[in-house]
Structure 1
Amino acid sequence: MKTNNPLLYALLFLFSFQLHATDPVLDFLNSLNDAQLSKTRLQFDDVSRETWHYFPATMWPRTGIQLGELNEKQKELFQKMLQYHLSQAGYNKTMDIMSLENVLAEQTGDTFMRDKNKYHISVYGDPEKDKVWSWTFEGHHILLSFTVVGDKISYTPRFFGANPAIVQSGPRKGEHTLAMEENLGLDLINSLTPEQKAKAIFNEEAPFDIFTKNSVSVSAESPEGIPVPQLDKPQQEALLKLIHEYIAAVPDDIAKARMAKLESEELQNMYFAWAGATSLGKPHYYCIQGKTFLIEFDNSQNNANHIHSVWRDFDGDFGRDLIQEHYASHHNN
């Protein structure tokens, strides 16, 4: 089939993305000794595959192997594996978030709890033989979940957090992790007219955390906020720019495909909602809900200097839609 339709090209990328994801994953797995491999590789149906949290490792027990248990060569291979599955922007954010553990260690003196080597890698199933397998990278303020089903891949749920969001002192003073997610949201809410704000702001106080927290699954609820058709064109473009900041953490072809699909199929059914203050440095929260996804952002804790943000797919988290489609097509012939 030939087509000059760029949207159709994008959708073909989304649904027929030819993965060679096994290559960097297998390189990493092949570098592990038997003891390390027994920690890292788990059965695909292990309950830990969908059990996650953004707490530090000392507060939430996890399966998998910690970065601190790897030698330098193994760490290098893992970095390649991570870079393969993320865009440069997504990789940089991951590294920035992990580096904040050093800032917290300096501030608190607690190098046991605040340790950037206490992030866990788990591989579920056999990437070399299985049509369905996944891997996760998880620790304080990070969940990256990749589910591979044949030649397709799921990238959700994805959680990024930052504490401190803005470093207040020391040699890194002024660094603002997840700045775009925060600033673009503030720009959007402050572009609304008073009438629009009255619809968008559903609570004068921001919640203490994202509402979905570490839920295993998330369903579409009655949306809060202002419907996107009630935003003018520049405001809709600002909303899409904000959504793109979240999507852009994944490889470029996948990000472009998902953005094209959202714009063509979901934009007119999206809602933008806000709670709390509309200025930096005061507690604030926003969410964007579409037919298939939910974005949440909260900066309320630690004097509004502690960010939690997440992307959830209602049917696609942990590759559920892809897995269901795969087994339906292979067992109903």
Structure 2
Amino acid sequence: MKKSLLFFAFICCIFHSAFSQKNSSQSSLDATKAFLATLNPEQLATVSYPYDSEERSNWYYIPKERNGLWLKSMNEIQRKAAIEILKSTLSEQGKDKAIAIMQLEIILKEIENVIPESDRRNPLKYYFTVFGTPSATSTWGWRIEGHHLSLNFTSQNNKVISGTPLFMGTNPAIVPSGNQKGYQILKDETNLGFELLASLSEGQKKKAIFSEDPFFDILSANCPKPQPVVYKGIGFDELNDDQQKKLMKIVALYVKNYPLGFADEFMRKIEKAGLNKLRFAWSGEQKNTGKGNYYCIQNDVLLIEYDNTQNNANHVHSVVRDLTNDFGEDFLRKHYQKEHSKN
């Protein structure tokens, strides 16, 4: 027990020293206001929705048209202002991945021999949407979304209170040819999963691996309200110290896509829900040999899913969900309950 408590303290120290920073949405607020100021009335009507609109949970990650204002319809000043929102929304790590995912559409367009004038696989086919009135004293939200990217954030009193769902995907996962052959945006998400699996004993693998056949996609898909994955896998407390560190390294990788202040609070929330309740589950190929695989990590708050099965296992989908507060719904529910209790 003493060793376990010392290890928990060690984990907490590492993550909080790395993440420690005030949670503030001021930079996103400033960037969003600056962006909105560049728009004409018609564009403002297209980009704006009420905060409690059902559109907030109408999210997806396939190459389809969205509601909101897309980059292609903007002039250069507006595009630059829109990208500033994206940059303010994520950490440096997250921003770099998001922009790389958008640019990967150029490579995919070449691979699929899509005609240049087509909007299919267009790096400008990303949509910006604002929910409510952005201010330091209001509750408002914003979404940046297109193929393989969905960022959904909520701010209340100038503080990020929700940053899920956060989806990132890549096709190709590894560029197969050309000048960027071997380029891999979500490399760590892939490799760290295999590293943890490889560290398990045969007995541990029997608990962690629930199927030899991976899923075609993440199980939570684009559901507005995610449910825990039914495959429980192996528990955190069934891992040795080194394996626990490997599991937490994967969790940290996903959480560090967020701005540091929110990342710190989200990690604390995950810990409060119980690190010993974290579970790691796997299906599919057990070695990184180019065949399909899937993993998930979850407790009562966190759900991380990773799937690489499509296009001959060269097409990654990954997502972070907060099982208690996607789209800030927990906050919204408590707000309505408080208002009704006054009547």
Taking structure 2 as the reference length, what is the TM-score of the superposition? Answer: 0.88
Q: Do the aligned residues in 1 keep the contact of 2:71 with 2:126 (CA within 8 Å)?
A: yes
2:4 alignment counterpart: none
1:112 pairs with 2:127:
no
In 2, the alpha carbon distance for the partners of 1:221 and 1:274 equals 11
* SS of residue matched to 1:137: strand
1:159 alignment counterpart: 167
Gaps of 5+ in 2: 1-11
Q: Do the aligned residues in 2 keep the contact of 1:27 with 1:77 (CA within 8 Å)?
A: yes
Distance 1:17 1:35, change over 3 A: closer
1:95 pairs with 2:103:
no
In 1, the alpha carbon distance for the partners of 2:305 and 2:226 equals 12
Deviation at 1:69, TM superposition (A): 1.0
Q: Do the aligned residues in 2 keep the contact of 1:68 with 1:118 (CA within 8 Å)?
A: yes
Of residues 58, 61, 64, the one that matches 1:54 is 61
Percent same amino acid at aligned positions? 39
Of residues 220, 236, 241, the one that matches 1:228 is 236
Deviation at 1:223, TM superposition (A): 4.5
Q: Do the aligned residues in 2 keep the contact of 1:90 with 1:249 (CA within 8 Å)?
A: yes
1:83 pairs with 2:83:
no
Deviation at 1:45, TM superposition (A): 2.9
* SS of residue matched to 2:295: strand
* SS of residue matched to 1:21: helix
Q: Do the aligned residues in 1 keep the contact of 2:136 with 2:158 (CA within 8 Å)?
A: no
In 2, the alpha carbon distance for the partners of 1:25 and 1:156 equals 19
2:148 alignment counterpart: 141
**Residue type at the aligned position of 2:335:** H
**Residue type at the aligned position of 2:46:** K
1:23 pairs with 2:30:
yes
1:290 alignment counterpart: 299
1:40 alignment counterpart: 47
Of residues 300, 305, 308, the one that matches 2:314 is 305
1:209 alignment counterpart: 217
* SS of residue matched to 2:216: coil
Distance 1:327 1:19, change over 3 A: farther
Deviation at 1:112, TM superposition (A): 2.5
1:171 alignment counterpart: 179
Kindly report which structure 2 residues correspond to 1:320-331, keeping only aligned pairs within 5 A, or say none: 320-329=329-338
1:188 alignment counterpart: 196
1:57-78 residue CA offsets vs partner (Å, 9 max, x unmatched): 2xxx310001111111111111
Deviation at 1:328, TM superposition (A): 3.8
Could you tell which deviates more after superposition, 240-249 or 151-160?
Answer: 151-160
* SS of residue matched to 1:295: strand
Q: Do the aligned residues in 1 keep the contact of 2:27 with 2:88 (CA within 8 Å)?
A: no
1:207-245 residue CA offsets vs partner (Å, 9 max, x unmatched): 111111111111235452001100001100000000111
Deviation at 1:278, TM superposition (A): 1.5
**Residue type at the aligned position of 1:65:** L
Number of matched residues? 323
1:151-187 residue CA offsets vs partner (Å, 9 max, x unmatched): 4321001110000000000111010111111110010
Distance 1:165 1:18, change over 3 A: closer
* SS of residue matched to 2:122: coil
Q: Do the aligned residues in 1 keep the contact of 2:174 with 2:183 (CA within 8 Å)?
A: yes
* SS of residue matched to 1:117: coil
Deviation at 1:296, TM superposition (A): 0.5
Could you tell which deviates more after superposition, 15-24 or 84-93?
Answer: 15-24
* SS of residue matched to 2:129: strand
Deviation at 1:257, TM superposition (A): 3.0
Q: Do the aligned residues in 2 keep the contact of 1:204 with 1:276 (CA within 8 Å)?
A: yes
* SS of residue matched to 1:29: helix
Distance 1:189 1:224, change over 3 A: same
Deviation at 1:82, TM superposition (A): 1.3
In 1, the alpha carbon distance for the partners of 2:204 and 2:122 equals 44
Q: Do the aligned residues in 2 keep the contact of 1:293 with 1:311 (CA within 8 Å)?
A: yes
Distance 1:99 1:17, change over 3 A: closer
Q: Do the aligned residues in 1 keep the contact of 2:171 with 2:314 (CA within 8 Å)?
A: yes
Taking structure 1 as the reference length, what is the TM-score of the superposition? Answer: 0.91
Q: Do the aligned residues in 1 keep the contact of 2:304 with 2:320 (CA within 8 Å)?
A: yes
